[in-house]
């Protein structure tokens, strides 16, 4: 019992001294991080190019869609024969689970670092992106309905544009609430 108390006290003292010396050496200078994040946030959107946004279809008029992006922000999205339209659908749980298992298998095969490779010239296995829960299939402009949610993309910076040409339109699946089972 006494041995446990002594060991616990030594661990606590080592932890305290380690934290104290790290703090004194500016390795943990939170003021630097705080100042950096404030500086970055002041300039974060000034030079950022925005090429996609999402909203609700308010009107469709010929080759133009009025898209409500925020409460007081509407954009006119123009489209033509070159605009690609995609419809997202939920994958079956079996398909998604299979893809996730394959992805997890690839991540386990990947070495934790380059130094862990037997031959440094080898490239580690990269698992890629995790699978998405949606499958994307080709759609048409007639699939777009008033009140539907849309994501649109352009080749141009559309941050301030009130009217722009879309190169891609994605129609997400409708949001549905799960059935609530009555408890007896």
Looking at residue 23, its pLDDT comes to: 46
The pTM of the full predicted model, rounded to 2 decimals, is 0.60
Instruction: Retrieve residue 144's tokens.
Output: 């777009």
pLDDT of residue 17: 44
pLDDT score of 4 more than 90: no
Where does 52-109+126-171 sit in CATH, by number?
2.40.50
Q: Tell me the chain's radius of gyration from C-alpha atoms.
A: 27
pLDDT greater than 70 at residue 125:
no
Q: Is 149 helix (H, G, I), strand (E, B) or coil?
A: strand
Q: Is the pLDDT of residue 41 over 60?
A: no
Spell out the domain ranges in the chain.
52-109+126-171
Instruction: Tally Cβ neighbours within 10 Å of residue 52.
Output: 13
3-state SS, residue 24: helix
Pair 79, 169: CB distance under 8 Å: yes
Highest mean pLDDT among 2-16, 108-122, 144-158: 144-158
Q: What is the reported pLDDT for 131? A: 86
Unique residue bearing structure tokens 């939170």: 30
Q: Is the pLDDT of residue 85 over 90?
A: yes
Ranges of H-type helices in 25-163: 30-42, 93-109
- Is residue 28's pLDDT more than 50? no
Distances (CA, A) of 171 to 80, 90, 117, 142, 145: 17, 12, 44, 11, 10
**Is residue 67 predicted with pLDDT exceeding 60?**
yes
C-alpha–C-alpha distance, residues 169 and 116, integer Å: 44
């Amino acid at each position: 019992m006494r041995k446990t108390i002594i060991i616990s006290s030594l661990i606590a003292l080592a932890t305290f001294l380690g934290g104290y010396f790290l703090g004194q050496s500016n390795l943990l200078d939170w003021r630097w991080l705080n100042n950096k994040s404030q500086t970055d946030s002041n300039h974060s959107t000034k030079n950022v190019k925005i090429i996609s946004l999402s909203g609700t279809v308010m009107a469709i008029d010929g080759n133009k869609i009025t898209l409500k992006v925020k409460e007081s922000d509407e954009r006119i999205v123009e489209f033509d024969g070159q605009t690609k339209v995609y419809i997202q659908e939920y994958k079956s749980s079996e398909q998604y689970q299979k893809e996730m298992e394959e992805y997890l298998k690839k991540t386990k095969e990947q070495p934790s670092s380059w130094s862990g490779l037997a031959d440094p010239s080898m490239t580690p296995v990269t698992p890629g992106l995790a699978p998405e829960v949606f499958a994307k299939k080709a759609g048409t402009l007639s699939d777009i309905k008033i009140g539907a949610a849309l994501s649109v993309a352009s080749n141009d910076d559309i941050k301030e544009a009130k009217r722009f040409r879309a190169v891609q339109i994605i129609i997400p699946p409708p949001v549905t609430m799960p059935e609530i089972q009555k408890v007896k």
